[in-house]
Structure 1
């Protein structure tokens, strides 16, 4: 009896060890050879045009999904470990998508090298991050913790594309809608009539920010279980990691304009009503955003700043992602980013990045024609904010200013 039990123990341990080796092996191979994650195309053929249908999501079969299936053989269903079995229709849809997949046409290939000034720009931005995260740099909460110390829920902004070996940390109000569109196109996670989207701007707006469209680090636990942190570190080491940032004060103005000057029922109930009650002498604000706008009621920019500076705000819940500091969203002192883009130079930076990723023949960064918030407006917006509040606000966002090389706005702080 003892010998039989010992044999079963060795069998279980040996199986677990082999699973780990297989996962590590395929991860290494996939990262070194991104084409292994690409679907096998049957070659150009005229796709059958089915009846009009809504866009559907589908994950193209890959070696990682094969590993998932293999691991699941050793797990009890419903445990939440690496992956639970996928719905039956998902695999059928993937097979149909593969049959009807048509390779992209290469419409542009850059042969000239990237300008030296653009390459030097990235060297300086990465160097600044390294300096600010060092012992002599700026101090802020969470700076010195390790990657393993970051809670899983705080890794939800890191989008992974295994097809091309890319990790993107998205920052709301910094062109993240367009970069999310590009990540959907590259990962081929969204199909239209069984064919992956190729034009980023053709992706329906309501799907761009749908979390099911993006495979983020905080989803690793469900897929990989106890191996999730190890795989995150492997991908962080091997993949190209990038983010885009913006002048912190201008980002706040943009967030305010988008969420409180426009009719947004969700943000009205979650935030605007709170601001009106606390700072605008409105103990019973209107029940809906339409009623509030009809009555000419919405929080002022000064009320918004009061809300950010109020200690009660963070006690109730963490900052919303639209005004949460970048260092809290993307953890630049725990993750060594390969590319740091600025919204102020987004066209040059986007072209440089897509060429560096070797996908500029696949997708182009969409040009925005919308009325963007300009940094030259800062003085007008902050004119209603008391100087003492402006200085407190700078201290709150100072890490973002210094980590990403934005000048201290002395003209605003010293008025």
Structure 2
């Protein structure tokens, strides 16, 4: 009996080991089955009438279905996520909160079609990305590497919402605060009085940019270990991927205004002091942003451009995300985005995207006209920047101009 029992144990362990090997190395076939039975949006937990019986067809059990069954035993039912052994904290739940809970309605069918011109706009933007990525005249670092070659630390801008099958690559200074708010609402990762927060604008700014509120690709390693990169590819294939971009030079102006014309002690200490020492002939700049503002000291926009063009800047650290090129943040030649929004057409694009995602009955994009930087201001801002520096700056950001269809700013570069 003992020998027979040990034999059965070894058979089971051997089978499990072989299944795991197949999951790890069966990239093409395994990827198409790993999440095949995982619903993207499970819907509310409310009673439903029993489904109508469908005619059953005979189906021969396959080895792949055995693999699915093996993987699914480690996943929470209906989520596609690993089982979390930590008990859920229900201390903030209440009967009143349950009464106020509004069931999710993502499954509502939208009958009104999206305007043809909006669909055509997206088709043109996606086609342009493909053409520029295949065009040998458009050259930039990392363009021809594979997705597997992208370091994990460079995947921290890809936010994943498993509830709705969405991946959003956020670009700072391109309405990313409001899109992050929408991602929090959709993922239901923030509770208010015991129920998911439904109002994007009610989410405090400190939470919007809190990394713990967002599940990004660079966190996959901690959760999934050796399966991380494989699961990234599965989700990139199945989920809807989007990003929003903006005229690169106008984005730089917006970044400068927000980080150096306003009181921001962190950016003052990390960046402004460096600019003042290197380019403003101030070897001992004020110690804090309050002291600097009190005496009217801050780096000029021309100093900021000098800092971006200085080879020493990249040697010390990669560009900060607020002025890092979009191709370095979102990897558009490795990731085939389904939707490319422009800040210049933000309202139309946001409405189109939410319709496409089938969540426009759940959340609306919050529009705001506060502190917007207009493209018509470019000439005034760059008037203090030498023409040669403007041309060098264009070379630095030219891939973003060409990838996303922004015209070369000849009026600024040819003065």
What's the TM-score bracket when you normalise by the shorter of the two chains?
0.7 to 0.9
Distance 2:109 2:41 in 1: 19
The residue aligned with 2:89 is 92
Q: Residue 51 of structure 2 corresponds to which residue in structure 1?
A: none
Paired residues of 2:44 and 2:103 also in contact (CA < 8 A): no
**TM-score, structure 1 normalization:** 0.84
Cα distance, 1:112 vs structure 2: 2.3
C-alpha contact 1:23 1:67 (8 A) present in aligned 2: no
Look up the match of 2:237: 237
Mapped partners of 1:39, 1:254: distance in 2: 41
Shift of residue 186, structure 1, vs aligned partner = 0.5
Q: Alpha-carbon deviation of 1:114?
A: 1.1
In 2: Cα distance, 1:115 partner to 1:65 partner: 33
How many angstroms does 1:194 deviate by? Answer: 1.2
**1:68 and 2:77 correspond:** no
> CA deviation digits over 1:79-109, x for unaligned, max 9?
xxxxxx6654xx2339959993531478x98
Q: 2: CA distance between counterparts of 1:402 and 1:124? A: 13
Partners of 2:81 and 2:94 lie apart in 1 by: 21
What is the aligned partner in structure 2 of residue 47 from structure 1? Answer: none
- Residue in 1 that maps onto 2:339: 339
Q: Is the 8 A contact 1:39 1:62 kept in 2?
A: no
Q: Which has the larger Rg? A: 2
Matched position secondary structure for 1:92: coil
In 2, Cα distance between the equivalents of 1:294 and 1:213?
A: 36
Per-residue CA distance 1:220-242 (angstroms, 9 max, x = gap): 11111111111111110111000
Per-residue CA shift, 1:147-183, capped at 9, x if unaligned?
0000000000000011111000000000000000000
The corresponding residue for 1:408 is 408
Cα deviation digits, residues 170-204 of structure 1 (max 9, x gap): 00000000000000000101111110011100111
Change (3 A) 1:11 1:67: farther
> What secondary structure does 1:28 align onto?
coil
Contact 2:171 2:244 in 1 (8 A): yes
Q: How does 1:4-403 map to 2 (within 5 A)?
A: 10=14, 13-14=17-18, 16=20, 25=33, 27-30=35-38, 33-36=39-42, 38=43, 40-41=45-46, 63=77, 68-69=82-83, 87-88=86-87, 91-93=88-90, 96=93, 100=98, 101-104=101-104, 111-403=111-403
* Equivalent-residue separation in structure 1 for 2:276 and 2:259 (angstroms): 14
How big is the shift at 1:13?
A: 1.1
* Counterparts of 1:15 and 1:111, CA distance in 2: 44
CA deviations 1:301-343 (Å, max 9, x no partner) are: 0000000000000000000000000000000000000000000
SS of equivalent residue, structure 2 residue 139? coil
Assess if the C-alpha contact under 8 Å between 1:34 and 1:165 holds in 2: yes
Contact 1:171 1:326 in 2 (8 A): yes
Go from structure 1 to structure 2 and tell me whether the alpha carbon gap of 1:361 and 1:264 turns closer, same or farther (over 3 Å shift). same
1:95–1:25: structure 2 CA closer, same or farther, 3 Å change rule?
A: farther
Q: SS in structure 2 opposite 1:324?
A: coil
C-alpha contact (below 8 Å) 1:109/1:361 kept by paired residues: no
Give the superposition deviation at 1:35. 2.8
Task: Report SS of the residue matched to 1:159.
Answer: strand
Question: Hey, what's the Cα distance between the residues in 1 that align with 2:91 and 2:171?
Answer: 31
The CA distance in 1 between the partners of 2:145 and 2:45, in whole Å, is: 42
| C-alpha separation in 2, matches of 1:189 and 1:42 | 23
- Residue by residue over 1:100-148, the C-alpha shift from the partner in whole angstroms, topping out at 9 and shown as x without a partner, is 3531478x98532111111110010001000000044511110000000
Where in structure 2 are there 5+ consecutive unaligned residues?
49-74
TM-score, structure 2 as length reference: 0.84
Within 1, Cα distance between the matches of 2:145 and 2:341?
A: 25
In structure 1, distance between residues paired with 2:47 and 2:192: 18
Structure 1's 183 and 343: CA in aligned 2 closer, same or farther, altered over 3 A? same
- What residue ranges of structure 1 are gaps of 5+ in the alignment? 44-60, 70-84
Corresponding residue SS for 1:284 = coil
Q: Which moved more, 1:135-144 or 1:267-276?
A: 135-144
SS in 1 for 2:35: helix
